[in-house]
Amino acid sequence: MGLDSVELVMAVEEAFNLKIPDEKAAKLDTAGKLYQYVIENYNENPNALKNVNFESEVWEKLKRVIVYQLGVKSEDVTKQANFVYDLGMD
């Protein structure tokens, strides 16, 4: 993983209060895969899943982290966007 990757993973871990093991992080090559990992492992609020807006709130927060860390436009961050090929991450 390059420096951009490491910094993005660290920022996501901090934003969502979770740990992403290196072997998992290496496989999270799209924003959608990272989003799915966060949804499945998010533990900041045990009642979060009862919130009907939970998934959209997680996606918006994750997008903000990606935009900030990679310096890309918000509209470029889609769930299909590959971090290397679409978002220019090293």
pLDDT of residue 63: 98
Q: How many CA atoms are closer than 13 Å to the CA of 72, on its beta-carbon side? A: 24
Phi, psi of 53, rounded to the nearest 5 degrees: -95, 10
pLDDT level of residue 90 (50, 70, 90 thresholds)? confident
Q: What DSSP designation does 31 have?
A: H
Alpha helices in the chain (DSSP H): 3-16, 22-25, 31-41, 54-70
- Among 9-18, 28-37, 49-58, which is the least confidently predicted range? 49-58
pLDDT per position as a tens digit, 35-89:
999 999 876 556 555 666 888 999 999 999 999 999 999 999 999 999 999 999 9
pLDDT at 16 over 60: yes
Say what the pLDDT of residue 54 is: 84
Give the tokens for residue 68. Answer: 């900030």
With a cut of 80, say whether residue 1 has pLDDT above it: no
Q: Taking each helix axis from N to C terminus, what angle separates 54-70 and 31-41, rounded to the nearest 10 degrees? A: 130
